[in-house]
Structure 1
Amino acid sequence: MKRNVDLNEISDGKLYTADDMVRADCHDCQGCSACCSGMGDSVILDPMDVWRLHRGTGMEFAELVEKGYVELGIADGMILPHLAMSDEKETCRFLDEDGRCSIHDVRPGICRLFPLGRYYGDEGFRYFLQIHECRKKNRSKIKVKKWIGIPDIKKYERYISDWHGFLRQCEEGLKELDKQNARILRIYVLRIFFQNSFEGEEEEFYIEFRKRMDETKEKLQLGR
C-alpha cells in the first residue's frame, strides 16, 4: 500500500540496507502488543505471507478467510488480502489470550519489519525507521536482516521488489481497462497468487512464484 507522506516526518531521515544497524530491537516486546491493534486493513499480505501462514497453521487460503483471520480489500486498485482485526478490541485475530502472537515464526512481512518500513525507488527499496509508531522506548540497535529474520534476505528482497513492481504494472494496466475487464484482472491475480496454493519448501516457492508471475504478465500483456 502506497503512502503519500513526507519521509522526514515519519522517520529518522535515514535509509538503511539489510546489513545496516538500526535502533529497532524492542527486546521481545516484553508484554506489549500495541502494534497488533487498531491496524485496520493496513497489514497487507503478499503471496509468501500466505504460503507461510498455510505452512504454519495448516489452513488453506479459503479457510483463513472463512474463519476470519484474513480479509479481502482493495489496495492500490487490486484485490489483496490483509490480516483481520477482531470486532471487539480491534486486535489481530492471531493474538492469543496473553496478547502474544500465535504465529510469530510465520508472521507476515509487514509484521517482521515493524517499526521499519520500505521506501521504494527505481532500483528496488531501502528500509526506514518509523519514529512515531512503536511505543517501546530505549530500543537497541540490531542488524536489519537479523530483525526481519528471513534466512536468504537477498532472495527475499528480490522477491519483494518483483511483487511490488508487478502490482504497479497491474495498477497501470487497470487505467486502460473498462470496468468488466478490470474486474477480470483483479480476480485473476487473486486466484493465481493467493487462492491457488504454493507448495513445497522456500526455494520451490520462489521458483513457482517467478513462473506464475511471468505467465501472468504474458497472459495479461502487462508492462508492454
Structure 2
Amino acid sequence: MERAINLEEISDGRRYGLNDMVKADCGDCRGCSDCCRDMEHSILLDPLDIHRLSVGLGLTFEQLLEGRIELNLVDGMILPNLKMSQGDNCCTFLNREGRCSIHPLRPGICRIFPLGRIYENGSFQYFLQIHECSRENRAKVKVKKWIDTPEVKQNQEYLTRWHYFVKELGEELSRRRDESLRRAVVLFVLKQFFQTPYPEPFYDSFFQRLQQGIAYVQRLGLILSEEK
C-alpha cells in the first residue's frame, strides 16, 4: 500500500538496515493487543503471507476467504488483507487471552511492527513508527532479530520485487483506464500469486511465477521496468 507520508512526522527520522539496533522490542506484547484491533483493511497480505497461512493452517485461499481474510481495492489492484471480526473489530486470529493464535505464521506487516518499510530507488529500508505502538519503554533489538524472518536476504529480494511489480502494474492500469484490461489483470494476479499453491522452496516458485507474470502483462501491452 502506497502512503503519502512525512517520515519526520511519523518516525524517529532514522532509516534502519538489518544489522542496526532499534527500539522496537515490545517485551512479547504482554498485556497488550492494541495493534491487533481496529486495523480495518490495513494489514495487507503478500503471496508469502498467504503461503504461510495456507500451509500452516491447512486451508486453501478460498477457505481463508470464508472468514479469515478479505479482498479490497489497493492502489488500483485487488489484494487480500486480514479481516477484522464484526463487533469488537479485532483480528480474527486474536484469541480470548488477547494473544495471536498464529504467531509463527503471522504476516509480514505484523512481523516487523512497529517498524515499517520505505521503498526507494529499487530497494527498501526500515523505519520506526513512533505513534503506532502503545507500549512504552521499548528495548533495543537488532532489526534482523526483530523481524524474525528466515532466509532474510531472499526475503528482502522477494519483498522488493513484489512491491515494484504491484506498484508499476497498478500505475499502468490507472493510466490505461480500460476496465476489461484491469479485470483480466486483477484476476490473473489473484490466481497466479495467491490462489494457486506454491511448491517448495517458496522463493524459487515465486520468482518463476513473477517472470511468467511479467511476460503475461507485457503481452497485454503493459510496460513494466521490472525485467529481471
Fold conserved between structures, TM > 0.5: yes
State the aligned residue count: 220
1:218 to 212, 215, 220: 215
Report the equivalent of 1:101. Answer: 100
Give yes or no for contact 2:69–2:80 (8 Å, CA) kept in 1. yes
Report the equivalent of 2:204. Answer: 207
- Distance, in Å, in 2 between the alignment partners of 1:55 and 1:212 is 18
Output one character per residue of 1:75-122: Cα deviation in whole Å (capped at 9) or x when no partner.
Answer: 111010000000111100001111100000010000001100001101
Which residue type is aligned with residue 93 of structure 1? Answer: T
Say whether 1:147 aligns with 2:146.
yes
- Distance, in Å, in 2 between the alignment partners of 1:103 and 1:80 is 21
Per the TM alignment, residue 199 of structure 1 is displaced from its structure 2 partner at its CA by 2.9
- Distance, in Å, in 2 between the alignment partners of 1:128 and 1:173 is 28
Matched ranges for 1:1-224 at <5 A: 1-66=1-66, 68-174=67-173, 175-200=175-200, 204-221=201-218, 222-223=223-224
- Distance, in Å, in 1 between the alignment partners of 2:87 and 2:224 is 43
Runs of 4+ in 1 over 4 A off after TM superposition: none
Give yes or no for contact 2:50–2:61 (8 Å, CA) kept in 1. yes
Per the TM alignment, residue 169 of structure 1 is displaced from its structure 2 partner at its CA by 2.0
Which residue type is aligned with residue 205 of structure 1? Answer: F
Indicate the RMSD between aligned Cα atoms, in angstroms.
1.0
Which residue type is aligned with residue 183 of structure 1? Answer: R
Which residue type is aligned with residue 178 of structure 1? Answer: D
Unaligned runs of 5+ in 1: none
| TM-score, length-scaled by structure 1 | 0.96
- Distance, in Å, in 2 between the alignment partners of 1:34 and 1:169 is 33
SS in 2 for 1:207: helix
Output one character per residue of 1:99-155: Cα deviation in whole Å (capped at 9) or x when no partner.
Answer: 100000010000001100001101300000000010000000001110010122111
Per the TM alignment, residue 26 of structure 1 is displaced from its structure 2 partner at its CA by 0.6
Give yes or no for contact 2:76–2:171 (8 Å, CA) kept in 1. no
Unaligned runs of 5+ in 2: none
SS in 1 for 2:207: helix
- Distance, in Å, in 1 between the alignment partners of 2:110 and 2:5 is 20
Which residue type is aligned with residue 219 of structure 1? Answer: Y
Per the TM alignment, residue 168 of structure 1 is displaced from its structure 2 partner at its CA by 1.5
SS in 2 for 1:98: coil
| TM-score, length-scaled by structure 2 | 0.94
Identity, in percent, stands at 48
Per the TM alignment, residue 177 of structure 1 is displaced from its structure 2 partner at its CA by 4.7
Which residue type is aligned with residue 146 of structure 1? Answer: K
